[in-house]
Structure 1
Amino acid sequence: MKKKEEERKKQIMNAAFHAVSNLGYDKVTLQDIANHANVSKGVVHYYFTSKQNILLELLESTTSKIYRFEIQEIGKYHSAIEKLQAYVNAVFVSPQDNKKFYRVYLDFLAQANGNEDYKRINLKFYENCWGIGQEIIELGKGEGVFREDIDPLTYAKVIRAIIDGSLIQWLTCDIEEQHTFYKDICFNSILKLLK
């Protein structure tokens, strides 16, 4: 029974992600989420007490999933430059996935101003990202491929800013074919900064 409940909850969370991606944070309703999940609104209410509750869990699960994927991809490599390339590739996963995620994520960020829970989840996500950057920078410094004078935490923050800035600019240009261009520019800019 527990497994079936977990699967149903996952189905509703996936539906919530697609509903917010398609309709936007402000417009999406519990009924929209139910429709995307092919369940009744009552089923959604059984698992989540409110729209706010489901969207809060959606942000937390989505950012955690992305972090776990990035860690998994980086773990496949040994050198700092390979890990950096894997990190950028993991973030620039595909035009379709990036569009969906950033549509949802930017909607959440717009709400974060007045929502302490969103701020907390977002800060945890960024702290995880900064941890990845720090690890890569420290490895690169140890290998002698990155500058000795750089502070790992400061530059880890800059790395994530370059990544997000590149993806947001690509998204606002709305030219799918330029996804690879922005990924390459992002990686090369970070590498130049660190060397």
Structure 2
Amino acid sequence: MVRYKKSEEKQKMILYAAFQAVSELGFDSVTLQVIADYAKVSKGVVHYYFESKETVLIELLKWLTAKIYKKECASIELEKSAVKKLHAYISSAFVSPEKNRTFYRVYLDFLAKASRNPVYREINQQFYDNCNAIGKEIIQLGQKEGIFDINLSAEQTAPKIRAVIDGYLIQWLMMDRDDLHKFYREACLQTVISMLNNSSFFELRK
């Protein structure tokens, strides 16, 4: 039991090292040796736990997206009303300038590869499905409370919430200004609230 725990801790340490390496150097510059250097272990140790660089990065994407989903779930479970859950969800996504910058540098590298890598695409789709479940829960609760547009389809609207969150965070990242982090978080919240209060927000001329 103790050996298994140590093995799991070592794997997490290597994944975190890979995360830091990709964030600082970029996806293509990272090798098993680079990961080993960041983890302060030998290349053989990394290879013992992971067969290849590709294996490390696949597990890294799983680990990152699962960790974020778990954190966002925990944040909304603490709240009772739909509006407070929405605030908690977006605040959890906009965690801090430093953490958002590090994550999105890595995440955007994965997305760039996902179009040609079905494994990355599948992991990312699972992440979006999980995020959509959070959005759907918030929308349906708000509709029951009478504060969100009852005509909205929770199934179709939930993915748009995550799209808005990612869009604002990516735009903030490109601005490279920590002082605008709060502004983009509040703008994101207001945009989502506008979407949920007015179904015509999504309507296009036919």
Residue 115 of structure 1: how far off its partner (Å): 0.6
Q: How many residues align?
A: 195
2:33 corresponds to which residue? 31
1:106 corresponds to which residue? 108
Give distance in 2, aligned partners of 1:194 and 1:82: 14
1:66 corresponds to which residue? 68
1:161-187 superposed Cα distances (whole Å, 9 cap, x missing partner): 110000000000111110000000000
Residue 111 of structure 1: how far off its partner (Å): 0.4
Give distance in 2, aligned partners of 1:39 and 1:14: 13
Q: Pick from 181, 185, 192: which aligns with 2:183?
A: 181
1:120-150 superposed Cα distances (whole Å, 9 cap, x missing partner): 0000000000110000000000000001110
Which consecutive segments of 4 or more residues in structure 1 shift more than 3 A?
none
Give distance in 2, aligned partners of 1:4 and 1:60: 20
Q: Pick from 152, 155, 168: which aligns with 1:153?
A: 155
Give distance in 2, aligned partners of 1:110 and 1:48: 23
Residue 153 of structure 1: how far off its partner (Å): 1.5
1:3 corresponds to which residue? 5
2:48 corresponds to which residue? 46
Amino acid in structure 1 at the alignment position of 2:40 = N
Amino acid in structure 2 at the alignment position of 1:170 = W
Amino acid in structure 2 at the alignment position of 1:72 = A
Give distance in 1, aligned partners of 2:63 and 2:100: 16
Contiguous gaps of at least 5 residues in structure 2: 198-206
Residue 113 of structure 1: how far off its partner (Å): 1.2
Amino acid in structure 2 at the alignment position of 1:124 = Q
1:135 corresponds to which residue? 137
Amino acid in structure 2 at the alignment position of 1:3 = K
Residue 155 of structure 1: how far off its partner (Å): 1.1
Give distance in 2, aligned partners of 1:36 and 1:192: 44
Give distance in 2, aligned partners of 1:127 and 1:6: 26
Give distance in 1, aligned partners of 2:23 and 2:74: 25
1:194 corresponds to which residue? 196
Give distance in 1, aligned partners of 2:91 and 2:13: 27
2:20 corresponds to which residue? 18
| Identity value in percent | 52
Residue 6 of structure 1: how far off its partner (Å): 1.0
Give distance in 1, aligned partners of 2:11 and 2:75: 27
Give distance in 2, aligned partners of 1:156 and 1:178: 26
Residue 98 of structure 1: how far off its partner (Å): 0.3
Amino acid in structure 2 at the alignment position of 1:32 = V
Give distance in 2, aligned partners of 1:39 and 1:115: 29
Secondary structure in 2 aligned to 1:78?
coil
Q: Pick from 138, 147, 167: which aligns with 2:169?
A: 167
Residue 193 of structure 1: how far off its partner (Å): 1.2
Amino acid in structure 1 at the alignment position of 2:133 = G
Residue 7 of structure 1: how far off its partner (Å): 1.0
